[in-house]
Amino acid sequence: MSVPTQAARVGVYYAPEPDDPLADLGAAWLGRDAESGAPRTQPPVAAIAELTAEPRVYGFHATLKPPLRLADGTDWAGLRGAARTLAAGVAPFDLPPLAVADVHGFLALRETAPCPALQALADLCVAALDPFRAPPNGDELARRRRASLSPAAEAMLLRWGYPYVFGTWFFHLTLTRRLSPEERATIAPRAAAWFAPALARPRQVRAICLFTQAAAGAPFLLAERLPLRG
């Protein structure tokens, strides 16, 4: 595993285990395997390459700790060690069944029942690893604010560098860019059919994953899985 530079971004994500069929279907849907970096042949869905261009950069995942640049005085080894310690204290847990859902205009896989353990894991990742996060710069703040943030999301942005954490966080594995109503009516049933074989299978959250981005615009790659051992 290569060591990211200080300029790289690092995110802490959930990604399906390699032996979970959801991992294979998700990589194929987006057109890229975030673990190997290899392109994948996408399903025969009209305009799917363009519809998935944005999430393809990030890889098939659900965010726990949003991507961060390392703060001055911190380094990759320290972040990795802290994440490993965090994972060692959390027990694996069942993930509720997933389903294709409309999330503010884009399609994503969402859990179909509340999962307190999932929320607790995301909250822990955000708080415990925050000392490694460099503050957002002006351009980053302006980009986030283009989404017309609620007062709660604005407060999260200022405190934690991202608007959707803790009470504003929600688990989702992004499948598309924002869609028009006409696109959604066409793509949603195709996505549901594509993922159906995997969604029927029970699964656990058994690890957190470190994803790295070498430079702005570069694809995120899965750098390491850290097993939950609590």
Is residue 29 one of the residues assigned to a domain?
yes
Domain, as residue range, for 65? 9-227
CATH of the domain at 139: 3.90.1140.10
What is the rounded end-to-end Cα distance, in angstroms, of the chain? 25
| 204 has pLDDT over 90 | yes
Is residue 61 one of the residues assigned to a domain?
yes
Tens of pLDDT, residue by residue over 207-229, are 999 999 998 889 999 999 999 99
Task: State how far the Cα of 136 lies from the Cα of 68, in Å rounded to an integer.
Answer: 9
Is residue 196 one of the residues assigned to a domain?
yes
Is residue 1 one of the residues assigned to a domain?
no
Mean pLDDT of 148-158: 86
Mean pLDDT of 114-127: 97
Predicted pLDDT at 96: 96
| 147 has pLDDT over 80 | no
Helix (H) or strand (E) run with residue 194 in it: helix 181-199
Average pLDDT across the chain, whole number: 93
39 Cβ contact partners less than 8 Å away, ≥ 6 residues apart:
31, 32, 33
| 140 has pLDDT over 90 | no
- Count of structural domains within the chain: 1
Closest by CA to 137, choosing from 3, 5, 7, 4, is 7
* Higher pLDDT among residues 55 and 136, named by residue: 55
Tens of pLDDT, residue by residue over 159-187, are 898 888 998 899 999 999 999 999 999 99
Is residue 3 one of the residues assigned to a domain?
no
Predicted pLDDT at 176: 98
Is residue 4 one of the residues assigned to a domain?
no
Tokens 């009516």 locate to 185
Model confidence at 156, pLDDT cuts 50, 70, 90, reads confident
Task: State how far the Cα of 7 lies from the Cα of 62, in Å rounded to an integer.
Answer: 23
Is residue 53 one of the residues assigned to a domain?
yes
| 139 has pLDDT over 90 | no
Is residue 100 one of the residues assigned to a domain?
yes
| 3 has pLDDT over 70 | no
Tens of pLDDT, residue by residue over 57-72, are 999 999 999 999 999 9
* Higher pLDDT among residues 149 and 22, named by residue: 22
Tens of pLDDT, residue by residue over 8-43, are 899 999 999 999 999 999 999 999 999 999 999 999
The reported pTM is: 0.93
